[in-house]
Amino acid sequence: MVSIPAQYPSVLIIGSGVFGLATAWELSKNPEFKDTEITLIDRQPFPAADSSSIDTSRIIRPDYASLSYTRLASKAQLLWRTTFAPEHYHETGLAVTASGPEQSYVTDSLRNVQFHGTDRVQTLQSAAEIQRVCGLEANKPTDDTLSPGGGSTGYVNWNSGWADAEGAMCWLRREVEKLNRVRFITGTVKRLNINHSTNTVSGVILSDDSTLTASLTILAAGAWSPSLLDLRGICKATGQALVYLPLSASEQAKVANNPTILNLSTGLFIITPSRKSLKVARHGHGYTNPTTIPHPEAAPGSNQTITISLPATHLTTHTQDPLPLEAQRQCRDLLRSVYPSLSSPSRPWSKTRICWYTDTRNGDFLIDHHPKYKGLFLATGGAGHAFKFLPVIGECVVESILGRMPEDFRGKWEFPRQRVPEEEWAGDGSRGGPEGVVLAEEYERQRKGRL
Ligand SMILES: Cc1cc2nc3c(=O)[nH]c(=O)nc-3n(C[C@H](O)[C@H](O)[C@H](O)COP(=O)(O)OP(=O)(O)OC[C@H]3O[C@@H](n4cnc5c(N)ncnc54)[C@H](O)[C@@H]3O)c2cc1C
Ligand SMILES: *[C@@H]1O[C@H](CO)[C@@H](O)[C@H](O)[C@H]1NC(C)=O
Ligand SMILES: *[C@@H]1O[C@H](CO)[C@@H](O)[C@H](O)[C@H]1NC(C)=O
Ligand SMILES: *[C@@H]1O[C@H](CO)[C@@H](O)[C@H](O)[C@H]1NC(C)=O
């Protein structure tokens, strides 16, 4: 019997984010791939500043409405606490609150963390309690059941935390380098090299028209993945709001041990600050950036196009538009309700950013062989929550390549049999904030509003 890796003398990974780098790490360690040539290509030198895996911080939580993700996140946390970049992981807790329909996510997530055996969970019954337990500044809630700062119901999980995302990615990159198995290339993939008569992908064509050949190509290009494969109705890039507020040393000290606060009704959260920078962000439906591109699967010379949402980042667009004011205002409002002393409207952010999620219909990742093209595997669809799985996701990907997708995720991670129009996507129930906002239209509204 031929073992599967014999089919893969060479593997090419597109993208050096969470999915791509973790996969390269696992392939380097996995004895079944000991003779495989491994190449990792990214359009940016590492660490790619506009990728979604590089930032000051990412929440590390087992708090999920789906027990499968609770279990996998708990497994990842055991590693974050011990052997996986532990100096970049901080367990300061996460308070999850809501006051609308998102409440059911809070309830389900609480049930899962309790079921899974976390003993450091505290339920929060009122705005006053949320304030006290989370160390928020006292500001008079209008009534005791609802405060903008705390929401009306929720809980804090002291077993959750956050990681310095860039620090942890750099740590992992060094680990991969130490194993000396991966060839790293900086270059932009223009398209997959598809043979349409055999429906086989044999590697990629780069922007300078040179080619890279591999027996297995892994598409892990994050929010850019839909530019290289037709993923309409399956994956789309959504832009999420981030602002950073510089803190003084004493301000930093005052809030350094407070939990991250996430309001699922608005999607807004304030992550425990680090290195004198406080980050406020919105885990929301996000902005889309509709872009017309040549159909990524069309034969060369065809003039077929598709229109999809793609990232626009400070490295890819010529404009330097800051985050839309609507989002800046919302972040400022949350700050005002949580830390009034830091929220003076004239106090400038040090930086704003739009960071791009690779959203999927139900918030499940996309980790599977392509159903039509042989030699193509997908490891993408992070849907705004993949970072915490950095210590374990490579193993999940490689097991799935070998036809052993983790039991818990069968029926979740496969390439969907049907494409579902984006308006009908259900999501995972964890998003708040405005829906269906096109980035360019938001800027336009803003410009008109100012005239
Ligand atoms: C604002 C924000 C907050 C988040 N918060 C959390 C959180 O608190 N907790 C959590 O667990 N997760 C969080 N996430 C999600 C998590 O960060 C992502 O799911 C994860 O980083 C996705 O990794 P990736 O490998 O898919 O994408 P990326 O990190 O974007 O990597 C893709 C790479 O592909 C490269 N690439 C793209 N196109 C090409 C091409 N044509 N040729 C060559 N290379 C290419 C890019 O340069 C990039 O480096 C958040 C994400 C964002 C954006
Ligand atoms: C969460 O958002 C809702 C809706 O705006 C609001 O009623 C609630 O008080 C908010 N809580 C937080 C934490 O901002
Ligand atoms: C596609 O593959 C077939 C079979 O290997 C080969 O004969 C053909 O030349 C290939 N087509 C292209 C365009 O490379
Ligand atoms: C390109 O598009 C035009 C119409 O838009 C069509 O008439 C033409 O045949 C197309 N060419 C190819 C190579 O598909």
From the CA of 194, the nearest ligand is 3
Q: Report the pLDDT value the prediction gives residue 277, as an integer from 0 to 100.
A: 95
Number of structural domains the chain divides into: 1
Mutate to test the pocket of ligand 4, among 302, 303, 305 (most ligand atoms within 8 A of CB): 303
Instruction: Give this prediction's pTM.
Output: 0.95
Q: Report the pLDDT value the prediction gives residue 147, as an integer from 0 to 100.
A: 46
Residue nearest to atom 5 of ligand 2 (CA): 266
| Residue 271 three-state SS | strand
| Full residue range of the structural domain in which residue 240 is found | 4-424
Would you say the CB of residue 303 lies under 6 angstroms from ligand 4?
A: yes
Distance of CA 248 from the midpoint of ligand 2 (Å) = 27
Distance of CA 252 from the midpoint of ligand 2 (Å) = 24
Say if 442 falls within a structural domain.
no
- Mean pLDDT for back-to-back runs of 10 residues, the chain (451 residues): 68 98 98 96 97 97 96 97 98 89 85 85 85 77 44 84 97 98 98 97 98 98 98 97 96 93 90 93 95 94 95 78 91 91 89 96 97 98 98 98 97 97 88 88 88 50
Say if 351 falls within a structural domain.
yes
Distance of CA 306 from the midpoint of ligand 4 (Å) = 14
Say if 220 falls within a structural domain.
yes
Say if 318 falls within a structural domain.
yes
Cβ contacts of 11 within 8 Å, gap of 6 or more: 27, 33, 36, 37, 38, 39, 214, 215, 216, 217, 218
Distance of CA 221 from the midpoint of ligand 1 (Å) = 8
Contact 151, 107 (CB under 8 A): no
Q: What phi and psi, each to the nearest 5 degrees, are found at residue 362?
A: -115, 10
Q: Report the pLDDT value the prediction gives residue 142, as an integer from 0 to 100.
A: 45
**What are the start-end ranges of the E strands in 69-160?**
89-90, 94-98, 121-124, 153-157
Closest Cα partner for 189 from 210, 164, 165, 163?
210
CA distance 443 to 414: 36
Q: Report the pLDDT value the prediction gives residue 346, as an integer from 0 to 100.
A: 84
CA distance 273 to 407: 37
Give Cα 202 distance to the centre of its chain: 28
Task: Tell me the CATH number at 171.
Answer: 3.50.50.60
Say if 182 falls within a structural domain.
yes
Each residue of 145-202: pLDDT tens digit? 444 444 567 899 999 999 999 999 999 999 999 999 999 999 999 999 999 999 999 9
Question: Biggest alpha carbon distance in the chain?
Answer: 72
Say if 239 falls within a structural domain.
yes
Residue nearest to atom 8 of ligand 4 (CA): 303
Say if 435 falls within a structural domain.
no
Both tokens assigned to 347:
């106090």
Say if 436 falls within a structural domain.
no
Distance of CA 150 from the midpoint of ligand 2 (Å) = 7
